[in-house]
Amino acid sequence: MAVYFHEEDLPADVLAPGIVAVDTETMGLITHRDRLCVVQISDGQGDEHLVRFGKNSTYDAPNLKAVLADPARLKLFHYARFDLAAIQHYLGVSATPVFCTKIGSKLVRTYTDRHGLKDLVRELAGKDMSKQQQSSDWGGRVLSDAQQDYAASDVRYLHVCHAVLAERLEREGRTAMAQACFDFLPTRAALDLAGWPDADIFSHE
């Protein structure tokens, strides 16, 4: 297992065909204000790739964009709503089709209210993750080894979590419901970007 660090784009042909796990690191939680700094991606074969974008980046990353926009590749995220919005806003592509492990967890792990990635990975993959670098400065000129390892860990276990959650969704008869949620996520991200981040447009209010 290795972590590979790249500037401004993913090298060509470094990923195996099929499903990829994806995550992003930004300067904060307000997409229009807080720029995209890192995209993490893994094909589940044991390596993680980090693509870092600099302060004045044009986000011209054709290899990365081709993977993210590939309709034949399922993309795994944890809390896909945020990542899809960041990817759409800065890279200009819709990273679909998508499976969100946070939504999957909420649909089948109804015996708990702990749906964060750390808790999910501990139960489904039997691994402990450190979240110590979660709120660190991702816009610096140099990313520390601790930051790089943290970023890589966010995609390292998503393939395992996806496999378990997909089996449980099928077992509980909720696969179709989950898929409908996943299919709506690009629209939910678009609503966030368009100015409705906190409003439930389906509510009576």
Confidence of residue 31 (pLDDT cuts 50, 70, 90): very high
Confidence of residue 68 (pLDDT cuts 50, 70, 90): very high
Which of 184, 152, 116 has the alpha carbon at shortest distance from 41? 152
DSSP 8-state class, residue 33: T
Q: What is the CATH number of the domain that holds 10?
A: 3.30.420.10
> Mean of the pLDDT values across residues 108-133?
92
% of residues, the chain, pLDDT over 90: 92
Structure pTM? 0.95
φ, ψ at 118 (rounded to 5°): -60, -45
Residue 142: the pLDDT is 92
In a domain, 16, yes or no: yes
Kindly tell me if the per-residue pLDDT of 133 is higher than 70.
Answer: no
Domain count, the chain: 1
- Find tokens 């470094």 and name the residue: 14
Residue 130: the pLDDT is 75
Kindly tell me if the per-residue pLDDT of 132 is higher than 80.
Answer: no
In a domain, 37, yes or no: yes
Distance of CA 177 to the CA centre of its chain: 20
Residue 164: the pLDDT is 98
CB neighbours of 29 closer than 8 A, spacing ≥ 6? 82
Higher-pLDDT residue of 201 and 178 is 178
d(CA 162, CA 105): 10
In a domain, 175, yes or no: yes
Please list the residues that pair with 39 across neighbouring strands. 24, 51
Tokens of 99: 């499976």
Taking the alpha carbons at both ends of the chain, their separation in whole angstroms is 50
Q: What is the pLDDT of residues 74-108, one digit of tens each?
A: 999 999 999 999 999 999 999 999 999 999 999 99
> Mean of the pLDDT values across residues 24-40?
97
Parent domain of 156:
2-194
